[in-house]
Chain A
């Protein structure tokens, strides 16, 4: 057939369609059609029920006030690393090592696993001071130590959950129960996405292993489901179903898509349903994602020295790859990159979850790429506008676990009262330590940050007031930080 025939036909259809909507449907629908055809789906005047453009709920929206950060990379060490082995240099704990934990600490205390009266366990590693700030970290974190002056260390973070799934939910959704939107969902709901052809909220999981609380830690809860996190994977298709089926090449896909969209335009003209126009825009976005996602996810495009700096090996799906990918995604306008790494639940029931073998192994995998990420962001001028957060869902006890009385391996139980998290860039102070714990590192003694405060502070850094970022659901204006709990922004962290 005449190779131009198809092009002529489709061109004709589009012109006819636009001409007719101009006459028949009024300006509103016609302009939506035009805008979505021109790829300007966010530039619409028409708005949906929540004041959002109907064809693009992820269109960028202004913050409540000047934002310090535009994007977040969160590194979640699922299972929760021991703050005692990494950050808490406590001579008193060392001195009383092996003694029974004083009674006053145990009043009303409930452990996940420890039974009977536990004994104190000192830190197994040496500490060093780093940078001009003299921030203290243990010998397990030499690389992080080298970027200490960029780090803001929160030593008194608190949660009220001591089981993994509820604690992860509380940290990421503001509520220990299922059904609430995650932080990344709130952010794309509040700010939209700057990424034209990538999801605004991307999740990277080491080894593609879903964390304890399942996909709900990046779920959209009661927010519209376009705000849920999209898991980009190291193996198989980088986003589920992103690859064309065997036998369909790019040109064929384009032709098929043109046919879909042309037929959809005919339907839109007939039905006058704006959703049909939205679908055309979403199919175009899907088409672009088919190229842009594999491109963004392909770390072989990085120069060898960068791969080396991160310690990333293409195809491995390690935390090193995740850190490098996070930088690539943030560069491309992704709002929130949520990294999950697992294997940090150091109970000491065997060599795979203890403080002597497993923790150094995990630190070895994590320390270098996280430090590389911070340096790399800084080199590229992205650190100022990118907030990096690091930590588990809770801490570990200053006492040994010795499950079932066995003392072959050293480990610690879950500890909600005080634990350490790190932040960097994005408008927080560098080389700054905030909050204190008591001599045993058991309870917070100064500047405690409940995780809801942490959320309020992160939102603040992104220019959002946690009290004003609301969504009406179940009879209430819901917030990330909860509807009743009084949360606050910790101003002292702000640079």
Chain B
């Protein structure tokens, strides 16, 4: 399935890689046409599309890296074609009749494989027969093939496509006879851009300015402004902090506090400065080992000090030190290389070509650091905060990665079934055999590892990174399983699209902002999210991007949006995490008397990314909108739609406070006209402040009616009015009810 290690670096390897790359391009471009052609029996069978999924889904569980029943390993071409003890050969290339596999998948029940469940369909059996007769060619998994440039496809609607990316998307649409959605209106585009790039809605002033800007390049200008905003780093740090399992506590039973916010500040700042992605990752994996490492480089290594510390009485430090090392390996692979490498901790990977030996060699890179599951979190360094270093002398500590001195280095062992109690032979640091080789001149430590990871020849690094950028904008990756580019991951919606983006990422010197800019300037991005009937029927999941995706905002963005439109949001950046109000008693935890002490002043209104994160009990309003516990790496959040979330936006005092502030801003706005007419004008203003569009007459009818009803009610119940508005003002109270309604609208909670 994968290239044999011995072949790596040899001319054959390079030649084969090129061949594979070009085949892949042809397959991608021609695949769909090929599928639609009638099958004359000579059509080459696609290993990746027709054979690999069947092997993975029906065979490898018993005949793969874990179990190898009957000595058969169908994940390995050599062994799949080697005779067993009785001289039988599972797969004889070119001879389906002589292949045992064919006999077994077509045998009558009782002898048939797989032994339970559905047999292979006639179509699948036929695919195997033809694949074997055609020579049983195994190809590398798509994600492990080298990146090669994509020939931009020919499209009919050439005028629509602004960028090569658009042509790839358009070609996909035209293949099924669909066209793109029309461009969204300017106000929608501005709100979308603002939410995607800085995680906040625009201001009314920005909207007015954008609508008034009739000069060419208005769109590009606003994109550039948003990319330059310091809010950019705050928004883009969020998904990374989930991946880095960043939190303000240590985890496990005691879950005591941990001071590590300097890492979060470093990250925000690095993203704002557009630190190239390869540099960003290198700093986090091995900043301490860089020549002339700076404080910032060392702070970056706190990435892997976000592991849990178990200070529960009686815990074995070595056990939990190793748990942290395993976690670092898992996060490195899941988060940065999109691979379920951790599956190989106890046994070779069941589906992909990673062996258990590969696993422990990789562990050896991370096994030399001085940290060891200690309450004091040592080693730490004392630094001036990366966020406000220029303004303040104030210092903070941060746990960092530091290698043990020579002479105290650990010996890493292969652990049978992953058990510390069963150490076997020694292993030395190395990267997996099925991947490009470790650079010959690189040190065998984390720094060398970072070089290997971020190298342009690493087929996964750019693909996984570009896919995450795409997911952050579109709400779903081109490869939906952002954490798994392996054979069990989801197939990319469009192979050419992910490879094109990854290649652009490399060509743009891994500039995240440049890649974001390229994506949002595209016609694909600018489509409307309202779907025509055809788009809805033929592309119901929007996998072809026949419209702009519409999805609910993430937890932090919901809080931030409510605070922003109501004018309450603090723009203070960086510093220790803050504690906005949360219900009483949420932090009541066994064996801990730590208290949530509500922040004062503007710290109550900071962006969600600065909210104190206790792993055993994150802020409940964030959990309701799918924020994770940050105990483990979370490469993507689910997006639930639940009554508990509805209760938060309906009743959370923070949301009511935002509604009060909104109400105060519009209730007495001077307007022309009086009475009902003035109400309608003010309601329209309210909608424009929150939804950034003009109100529709029906909406104004509905909201006026509610406003009247609530005014009547509050006039007759001044105590209720005082409770709702914060003062004895029935009119303001009624406006607060209406504002609360707006903050609960699906449209307000969604990016469209």
A221-238: CB near B (< 8 Å → 1, else 0) gives 000111000100101110
> B696 on the interface (CB 8 Å rule)?
yes
Interfacial residues of chain B within 547-585, with CB under 8 A of chain A in the complex:
550-552, 583-585
CB-CB < 8 A to B615: which residues of A? Answer: 214
Beyond A215-B616, A241-B651, whether A267 also contacts B643 by CB under 8 A is no
Q: Which residue of A lies closest to B252 (CB)?
A: A165
Q: Which residue of A lies closest to B255 (CB)?
A: A214
Q: Which residue of A lies closest to B722 (CB)?
A: A247
Contact A212 B312 (CB under 8 A): yes
> A129 on the interface (CB 8 Å rule)?
no
> A124 on the interface (CB 8 Å rule)?
no
Kindly provide the distance from the CB of B72 to the nearest chain A CB, expressed in whole angstroms: 19
> B590 on the interface (CB 8 Å rule)?
yes
Kindly provide the distance from the CB of A152 to the nearest chain B CB, expressed in whole angstroms: 29
Q: Which residue of B lies closest to A268 (CB)?
A: B746
Kindly provide the distance from the CB of A335 to the nearest chain B CB, expressed in whole angstroms: 16
Stretch at the interface among A86-94, A108-116, A132-140, A418-426: A108-116
Contact B350 A216 (CB under 8 A): no
Interface centre among A112, A230, A247, A268 (most CB of B within 10 A): A247
Contact B656 A179 (CB under 8 A): no
Contact B585 A233 (CB under 8 A): yes
Contact B643 A286 (CB under 8 A): yes
> A492 on the interface (CB 8 Å rule)?
no
Contact A484 B347 (CB under 8 A): yes
Contact B647 A252 (CB under 8 A): no
> A150 on the interface (CB 8 Å rule)?
no
Kindly provide the distance from the CB of B483 to the nearest chain A CB, expressed in whole angstroms: 7
Stretch at the interface among B32-40, B463-471, B531-539: B531-539
> B721 on the interface (CB 8 Å rule)?
yes
> A433 on the interface (CB 8 Å rule)?
no
Beyond A209-B590, A213-B253, whether A271 also contacts B312 by CB under 8 A is no
Beyond A256-B706, A270-B530, whether A245 also contacts B651 by CB under 8 A is yes
Kindly provide the distance from the CB of B1 to the nearest chain A CB, expressed in whole angstroms: 15
> B709 on the interface (CB 8 Å rule)?
yes
Q: How many residues of A contact B (CB 8 A)?
A: 89
Q: Which residue of B lies closest to A221 (CB)?
A: B632
Contact B745 A113 (CB under 8 A): no
CB-CB < 8 A to A215: which residues of B? Answer: 616-617, 623, 629
Contact B702 A113 (CB under 8 A): no
> B484 on the interface (CB 8 Å rule)?
yes
Taking a contact as CB atoms closer than 8 A, the residue among A13, A178, A219, A286 that contacts B650 in the complex is: A286
Interface centre among A214, A255, A275 (most CB of B within 10 A): A214
Stretch at the interface among A2-10, A380-388, A452-460: A2-10
Contact B486 A6 (CB under 8 A): no
Kindly provide the distance from the CB of B244 to the nearest chain A CB, expressed in whole angstroms: 15
Contact B745 A260 (CB under 8 A): yes
> A42 on the interface (CB 8 Å rule)?
no
CB-CB < 8 A to A179: which residues of B? Answer: 631-632
Contact B308 A178 (CB under 8 A): yes
CB-CB < 8 A to A242: which residues of B? Answer: 647, 651
Contact A259 B647 (CB under 8 A): no
> A408 on the interface (CB 8 Å rule)?
no
B13-50: CB near A (< 8 Å → 1, else 0) gives 00000000000000000000000000000000000000
Interfacial residues of chain A within 1-39, with CB under 8 A of chain B in the complex:
1, 5-6, 9-10, 13, 24-26
Q: Which residue of B lies closest to A475 (CB)?
A: B488
Kindly provide the distance from the CB of B256 to the nearest chain A CB, expressed in whole angstroms: 13
Taking a contact as CB atoms closer than 8 A, the residue among A1, A164, A233, A243 that contacts B312 in the complex is: A164
> Considering the chains assembled together, what is the distance between the CA atoms of A484 and B744 in angstroms?
45
CB-CB < 8 A to A24: which residues of B? Answer: 533
Additional 14 contacts, C-beta under 8 A, given A474-B484, A476-B343: A177-B323, A209-B588, A215-B616, A216-B616, A240-B648, A244-B650, A247-B714, A247-B733, A256-B744, A267-B746, A275-B552, A279-B641, A282-B645, A475-B486
12 residue pairs from A and B, CB less than 8 Å apart: A1-B712, A24-B533, A163-B310, A239-B647, A246-B724, A247-B714, A272-B530, A275-B641, A282-B643, A283-B650, A286-B646, A484-B66
Residue numbers of A with Cβ under 8 A of B are: 1, 5-6, 9-10, 13, 24-26, 49, 78, 108, 110-113, 162-165, 177-179, 199, 207-216, 219, 224-226, 230, 233, 235-237, 239-249, 251-253, 255-256, 259-260, 262-264, 266-268, 270-273, 275-276, 278-279, 282-283, 285-286, 289-290, 342, 413-414, 472, 474-476, 484
Residue numbers of B with Cβ under 8 A of A are: 66, 251-253, 255, 308, 310, 312-316, 323, 334, 340, 343, 346-347, 350-352, 421, 483-484, 486-489, 529-531, 533, 536-537, 541, 550-552, 583-586, 588-591, 615-617, 620-621, 623-624, 626, 629, 631-632, 638, 640-648, 650-653, 656, 696, 698-699, 701-703, 705-706, 708-710, 712-714, 720-725, 733, 737-738, 740-741, 744-747, 749-750, 752
